[in-house]
Amino acid sequence: MNPNRRQFLHASVASMALAAASGNAFAKSGKSHPHVVVVGAGWGGATCAKYLRLWDPGIQVTLIEPNPHFISCPMSNWVVGGFQDFDYLVKSYDNLPRYGIQMLQDLVIGVDADKQVVRTRGGRRIRYDRLVLAPGMEWMTETVEGYEDGAKAQKVMHAFRAGPETLLLRKQLEAMPDGGVFIIASPPRPGRCVSGPYERACAAAHYFKQHKPKSKIIMLDGDIDIVSKGPMFKAAWKEFYPGMIEHRPNNLAMGFDHREMVVRTEFEDVKGDVVNIIPPQRAPRLCKDVGVRNDALDRWCGIDFVTYESTSVPKVHVIGDPVLSNMPKSAHVSNNQAKICAAALIEILNDRQPLPTPVIGSTSYSITSDHTSGSIAVVMRYDPAKKAYIRQPEGGANTRHSELDFAYGRAWHENMWADTLG
């Protein structure tokens, strides 16, 4: 990668400017004060709500989120490896109302798209002019026989949604005997943060190297090879953890016996002491109920890539992980999609045409030890003729990890949190 280009891509997030905005978020819906309801206050939803108010304070914005705090999935492997405490991942929503966002701690249980009304568990009925769904993922646990029984017994978890499972996985690794086997089973693409399982192997191996050096990690990979930052991860495993990480590609987990702690694949049964199975994912049930989970496999949400409006339900927009696209399902992409959607909504609500060729940047960092990381950075531009985001020249992944990328990665996370949460 051209060094100047790489420096630009790394610096793009860190250089984002934040601006304050004020306005009456509680004004009645109407032509002068259109009402946008955003469901989900993660990387996509919180960013979309914030930038709607920043760029057009005349828009009323209601942000609905069931959780009292933002918990970051990026950097959660730092907790698994013992590089950070869990509290480091927990961020406050306190700054968002200062932009004029009405925040509701509640759970959306239904949407009447014809009447343009959102229903919540708390009994609220909220009318919208436009609805933005940013609900994250749900895990297809039913595709792994025995997974749900194992989860109830706390013998298996995916820990791919930061929270109690992150801490439980860490505690299980601490309790594992030296010489034990840690199994990480990951699904084929598409899915959330495809580099995450390989980063998790690095984090766990770093911990084992210091405290349980006889232990081993077996990676059962549902994909044909390491699909993100492959040369970098392989080089790191060879340099830092020789003989400790065994990668078995094209080996999808199909079943789990929590009594025997055995993972079953098409080719073999593998016994472990700690088991981390990450099932395939799909857009959540809410998306299906609304009618926006509309692809042939009933997994993802087809959208107009200029406006992020659903291709099947008018005035409902979808951003983040549920979107059917060739874009990575990552924090940075969700953050970028949120801004494109916010900008398009402002144009639509002001009777103007949105930008027809939006651009998305995607950067992610993966730790390989407690002081080294590797990264990937790409730019994609929407091509209306092809109806897809096309990767632009240059960019790409590191083939080696470095201490400099570790510093870049920490700064990236801090700036992403600031950009999303204010």
First to last CA, the chain: 32
Q: Tell me: do 416 and 292 sit in the same domain.
A: yes
Question: Rounded to an integer, what distance in angstroms lies between the CA atom of residue 418 and that of residue 303?
Answer: 28
Count of domains for the chain: 2
Q: Tell me: do 311 and 294 sit in the same domain.
A: yes
Tokens linked to 175 = 């309790």
Range of the domain at 220: 155-280
Q: Where among 280, 305, 337 does a domain terminate? A: 280
Cis status, amide bond into 190, omega within 30 of 0: yes
Q: Over the range 44-71, which residues count as b (16 or more CB within 10 Å of their CB) and which as e?
A: bbbbbbbbbbbebbebbbbbbbeeeebb
Burial environment of residue 134 by CB neighbours within 10 A (0 to 12, 13 to 18, 19 or more):
buried
Q: Tell me: do 22 and 49 sit in the same domain.
A: yes
Q: Where among 261, 280, 299 does a domain terminate? A: 280
Q: Tell me: do 318 and 197 sit in the same domain.
A: no
Q: Side chain identity at 19, as an amino acid letter?
A: A
pTM of this prediction exceeds 0.95:
no
Q: Where among 231, 264, 280 does a domain terminate? A: 280
Decide if 143 is inside a domain: no
Decide if 150 is inside a domain: no
Q: Tell me: do 247 and 219 sit in the same domain.
A: yes
Q: Tell me: do 172 and 125 sit in the same domain.
A: no
Q: Where are the alpha helices (DSSP H) in 131-272?
A: 147-152, 164-175, 196-211, 230-240
Q: Tell me: do 265 and 302 sit in the same domain.
A: no
> Of 72, 76, 80, which Cα lies nearest the Cα of 182?
80
Q: Tell me: do 291 and 262 sit in the same domain.
A: no
Spell out, as residue ranges, where the chain has pLDDT lower than 50. 1-30
What's the CATH number where 257 sits? 3.50.50.60
Decide if 185 is inside a domain: yes
Decide if 130 is inside a domain: yes
Question: Rounded to an integer, what distance in angstroms lies between the CA atom of residue 409 and that of residue 72?
Answer: 14
Q: Tell me: do 223 and 334 sit in the same domain.
A: no
Angle between helical axes of 196-211 and 230-240 (0-180°, round to 10): 10
Decide if 15 is inside a domain: yes
Strand intervals (E) in 78-124: 90-91, 102-104, 108-112, 117-120
Q: 384-391: long-range contacts at Cβ-Cβ below 8 A with a sequence spacing of 24 or more? A: 384/306, 384/356, 384/357, 387/305, 388/305, 388/325, 388/326, 389/305, 389/325, 389/326, 389/327, 389/360
Q: Tell me: do 243 and 302 sit in the same domain.
A: no
Helix (H), strand (E) at residue 376? strand 373-383
Question: Rounded to an integer, what distance in angstroms lies between the CA atom of residue 402 and that of residue 367?
Answer: 9
Helix (H, G, I), strand (E, B) or coil at 134: coil
